[in-house]
A and B are shown apart, each in its own frame.
Chain A
Amino acid sequence: MNSPIEVRVAAVTQITPVIREFTFEPVRGALPGFSSGSHVVVHMPVGERSVRNAYSLLSNPAQTQHYRIAVRLQDESRGGSRYMHEQVKAGDLLQVSPPANLFAPNSQARHHLLIAGGIGITPFLSYLPELQARDASYSLHYAFRGGFTDAYLDSLRENLGTQLQTYDSIQGQVLDLATLLASQALGTHVYVCGPQRLIDGVRVHAEQLGWPEIRVHWEVFAAPEPGHPFVANLARSGLTVEVASDSSLLEALEQAGVEIPNLCRGGVCGQCAVAYLDGAVEHRDAYLSATERSNTVMPCVSRGLCGSALLLDL
């Protein structure tokens, strides 16, 4: 597994009342390069625990001197976004994973239809320099709450002109996904990042309109939802791990010193899949098939059921 990189916080900028931008610079050496759509996982010491959240890199991939991320303060934060907003200051040192990319633009697409909701704008900020450099055809549809989650709106307006369409919910402007998706030229790929209901909306409408799945790309960075506490037993090492209600199984395993390869920490990429031998699982991922679910669990989002211990093949 790639070991984390130590970075220094070079700047902290308040972008909107709930969104803060952080610029990271290397402590030693150079930062690994990254491609459009990449993310890093930031390790945050929150109390006794280490919370790890994935954030899209929003800087230009051609500029490798620094990484930039933007963090929205979540109302029901498990501590990660609150830590970033309240504790992290310029000059602080943080650990981040090397960049990984699960949301790259498709090189065969004739037109890139980008749909962002609020903080979901961040991966597209690293798309735009590449799409513009390639002279690719694209349009960005950006839905937000004006004055609240409309990060980078002014610079996008200036930079994109008519390729930007905005939808401010405060002004009652609605993004009509069915109409938008019904009128896209052959060869279009759609990319969506934002709240779950926006992603679900794009996927459902695209399917109903006959879009093949491979034209539809989505990225969700929801922190794992809390649940009931449960116990996981590790069959091979004999360890017992208690998973608190606000912690994910993956985080609890990491806390116990069991490192599992992982990338998205959001139930999408399939990297962290672990076999289980006994117990009942509440599956919350968007990766495993129904058959796989009978013996495999994605510990980044899924949980054991309260009252029955989960036996993992670890």
Chain B
Amino acid sequence: MTTHAVQPLFSTPVYQNQPHSKAATRRLVVAQALDQSPVEALISELQAHAQPLQVLAIGGTGTASDALQVAASQAELVQMLHAALRSAPVGTRLYLCGDEAFIWQCREIARHAGMLNEEIELFCAGSRRQLYCVHCSALQDIADQTEVACANCGVNLLVRAHFSQRLGAYMGVCLDPNNVRGEVRP
């Protein structure tokens, strides 16, 4: 195999380092952890705006206030996000910070609540990501490896670069059809 510079696939997600300077009436940050590096910078950047800023985060040492709500778990954070979106008007901008598995789950919730991609900004930290097994439809969390066995059906999977924005996951396809589960052949 030859190696050469490849254009990123159309489906490859693009993440930001800096928030866009777009108008908003309300800004909502949802963070997997407050001590991740992009989060602190993002919050201080957004605090420069006049509009109300609300932060939802898991754990952390920050003191809860009107502007900061701390959840004990991701499940609790998801409930907080649902509640915040229910009362949010058009004009709300959403900033999602965390690993890929986290931010794409939150993005799907926001889209179900009626938000558009144009209103959501993604900041990626950490290497955890989701893999979708195309053979049994199971989702599992993986790190940055390129080959992994499906946790559900056991097929050895090649992690493809194609990313499904709907599922928030990379596609895993059978690595070797002649040796599906890596069995030792007689």
Chain B interface residue count, Cβ-Cβ cutoff 8 angstroms: 17
The yes or no answer to A110 lying at the interface (CB within 8 A) is: yes
Residue with the greatest number of chain A CB neighbours at <10 A, chosen from B88, B90, B92: B90
6 additional A-B pairs beyond A186-B88, A186-B113, A209-B91, beta carbons within 8 Å, are A183-B89, A185-B114, A187-B90, A187-B113, A208-B23, A210-B23
Partner of B85, one of A186, A208, A215: A186
Q: How many Cβ-Cβ contacts under 8 Å join chain A to chain B?
A: 52
The yes or no answer to B115 lying at the interface (CB within 8 A) is: yes
Partner of B114, one of A183, A186, A210: A186
Chain A interface residue count, Cβ-Cβ cutoff 8 angstroms: 18
A184 to B90, CA, bound (A): 6
The yes or no answer to B11 lying at the interface (CB within 8 A) is: no
The binding surface of chain B is classed by DSSP as: loop
B92 contacts A210, C-beta separation under 8 Å:
yes
Contacts A182-B25, A186-B85 given; does A211 touch B113 at CB 8 Å: no
The yes or no answer to A188 lying at the interface (CB within 8 A) is: yes
Residue of A nearest to B85 (CB): A186
The yes or no answer to B144 lying at the interface (CB within 8 A) is: no
Partner of B92, one of A110, A186, A207: A186
Contacts of B24 in A (CB 8 A): 210
A-B contact pairs, 21 of them (CB 8 A): A182-B25, A184-B89, A184-B90, A185-B89, A185-B90, A185-B114, A186-B85, A186-B89, A186-B90, A186-B114, A187-B90, A188-B90, A188-B114, A207-B23, A210-B22, A210-B90, A210-B91, A210-B119, A212-B118, A212-B119, A214-B116
Contacts of B93 in A (CB 8 A): 210
